[in-house]
Amino acid sequence: MRVYEPPPKNYESLSKDKKDAYHAEAAREWHAQKKMNGLDDAAGPLPKSAAGDIPLPNGMEDYGEVRNVSNDAVDDERPIDLKIARASAFAGEPIPSRPWLVKDMIPDRTVTLLSGDGGVGKSLVAKQLGVAVAAGKDWIGTLPESGPVV
């Protein structure tokens, strides 16, 4: 797959209109390749140019480095076999107990949100919890489960 077409050898001597046309074509090709590969702009649409719907870059540095990319690595990946689970298979099964890092406050092995206004000590409390977990010591009047901390 080609990332973009290298500039013509006489790029510096081209008129502004010809440079704009070159950049517009390169942007069109870049967007087409992104669309072909299933990539979208996560930040939303790019700004529009006065000449049309393709943004006009400021120069070659807007396109990154020239390189050829091989799809060989993608072809070597094997699909993962996933087992299909039906919700009805869990009927009558006992509900597993919830593991807690700090009993009845912070669940273990799940995404947890620590929120508050800026400057109130969220980072300090999280660091203190990390030290208490790693050292197996008391944390604000509770004894968290000890274990590794990242």
Q: For residue 68, give the DSSP letter.
A: B
Q: How would residue 1 be classed by pLDDT, with cut points 50, 70 and 90? A: very low
Compute the distance between CA of residue 70 and CA of residue 39 in angstroms, rounded to an integer.
17
Residue of 120 and 56 predicted with greater confidence: 120
Contacts of 132 (CB under 8 A, 6+ apart): 138, 139, 144
* Beta bridge mates, 142: 139
Alpha helices in 68-121, H assignment, sequence order = 72-76
Separation of alpha carbons 124 and 106, rounded Å: 16
Count of other CB atoms within 10 angstroms of residue 111: 5
At residue 64, the pLDDT reads 61
- Taking the CA atoms of residue 133, residue 138, residue 139 and residue 140 in that order, the dihedral angle to the nearest 10 degrees is 170
Region of 120 (left: φ > 0; alpha: ψ -120 to 50; beta: rest) is alpha
Question: What letter represents residue 146's amino acid?
Answer: S
C-alpha 58/C-alpha 37 separation (Å) is: 25
Q: Looking at residue 25, what is its pLDDT?
A: 80
Question: pLDDT band at residue 52, thresholds of 50, 70 and 90?
Answer: low
Average pLDDT of span 23-40? 72
Q: Mean pLDDT for the chain?
A: 77
